[in-house]
Amino acid sequence: MSRRQVLGLAAMAAAAVPLASGCSGDADSVEPLKAPPENEMYPLAEAKELFHSLAWPKTDVPEPTKPVTVTMAITADKNAEVRHQQFAYFFREQHPNIQIKREVTSFDDFLTKYLTAAAGGSLSDVMYCQYAWAANLIKKNILAPLDDFIAKTPDFKVDDFAPEAISYWIKDGKHYAVPSDSAPKLLFYNKDIFDKAGVKYPDATWTWQKLQETAVELTSGSGVNKIFGYTPMPKMSADLAATHLLAYGGRFLNPDESAVTINEPGAHDALAPWVELAVKHKAVPSNAEMQALAAADPFRRNHAAMSVNGLWILSQMQTLPKADRFRWGLTDIPSGPQGRFSPLVGSSFGITKRAKHPEAAWIVLNAFMSAAGHRYFRVTPPSRLSTFEQNLADLKLPAQVVKDGKAAVKTYGTSDGVLRGPATTKITDTATVTWDKVRAGTMSLADGLAEIQSTVGPILKENA
């Protein structure tokens, strides 16, 4: 599962009642307060005790004087809904004039759906925003600046967020959303596969070259029994440069995203070993092999020795199905000739320009994105630094894992090189068409990078 598909993290804004239709719903139709559900994971008594033990933030933004409904467009999985319904119940006990309703949309459909809704003049009060969408939603006047609300909320504490994490939602000095989850990528490894091969575990001394050599050594088997040395193959994603290219002095685009630079030596040197791993050694999954696995992550299915992934998968690693369970560890992302880099990326929630109840929406948003909200939902990893260690510790992770995770945020986590222009999705989709030919071995790397340069170049004018 990719970072964008960790729906439990994105579900922080879910609340009690789905919208029947449309994005904004009947904003003043407030239903009687009903006791929320519970399940084995979220007993109601525990939820109540935790909620009332937390210091929920205050704001000078006035409460509504009559009942209103704050609508929220989110992406979430069904397993998290019980917790959100519980939150909505306890929140409304504290704010009796605010009911929360939600509309849940899959991540893959979300951006298209709400760009269409915005064009038609209909939007929720609050909406989810992935980091790569931020510039587009701001440019299209979909998200509203939050600075006036932040100024009226002394407990908000902008400095509780890593500057890199919050940077995606700042434009011309204004804040357009509040980060929910944020984390760097680290190197996860399967201890069972390493032990079986008699190979030492990765550590902070590893380089990308060492990882690639070891991936070849650990690749074995075929078909449904194949063990890949590493997964996934680098993708033409918004964070490609921060994950793979900067370590070799390469970039996807230049810093102001006005020129394609992936065809320059640094990027070529970073990507060439991966093409060899895919085409010659078959040490990373091909597109066809991923389809055979039903797009499931080979690492979490116990079919790969190593994977660079975000800390957002920690909770899933702790709750793997019994059939897929294995011993695992993590360490720093490997370094390259130019140093060690990892993309510090995440998601957020903002208030839309068409919000029917912006002040009430801020009261809701401020609670969800507060330190108390991060603790209540056990967001992993939280964007607020003040809750980072405790939220990871709640997963009963080794202390070293928690320490290494926060150190990565503070030392080599970066937003440099992460694409954020309005045309980002179009750029990555266009480049992927060519990259798939390269990774399949039907086009050389040199020809592929040249083609990406020629096809992506004309798109960059849309970033202006």
Comparing CA positions, the residue from 318, 307, 311 lying closest to residue 403 is: 311
Q: Tell me if 364 sits within 8 A of 127, measured CB to CB.
A: no
The pLDDT, as a whole number, for residue 29 is: 65
H-run or E-run covering 391: helix 388-393
Cα(195)–Cα(199) distance, rounded to whole angstroms?
Answer: 6
Helices (H) and strands (E) in the chain, counts: 19, 13
Q: Give the residue carrying structure tokens 């409460």.
A: 63
pLDDT in tens, 202-242: 999 999 999 999 999 999 999 889 999 999 999 999 999 99
pLDDT in tens, 285-330: 999 999 888 778 999 999 999 999 999 898 889 888 888 999 999 9
Cα(219)–Cα(193) distance, rounded to whole angstroms?
Answer: 10
Q: Give the residue carrying structure tokens 């685009």.
A: 253
What's this model's pTM, rounded to 2 decimal places? 0.86
Q: Residue 28 — very low, low, confident or very high, per pLDDT cuts 50/70/90?
A: low
- Using H for helix, E for strand and C for coil, what is the string for 301-356? CCCECEEEEEHHHHHHHHCCCHHHCCCEEEECCCEECCECCEECEEEEEEEECCCC
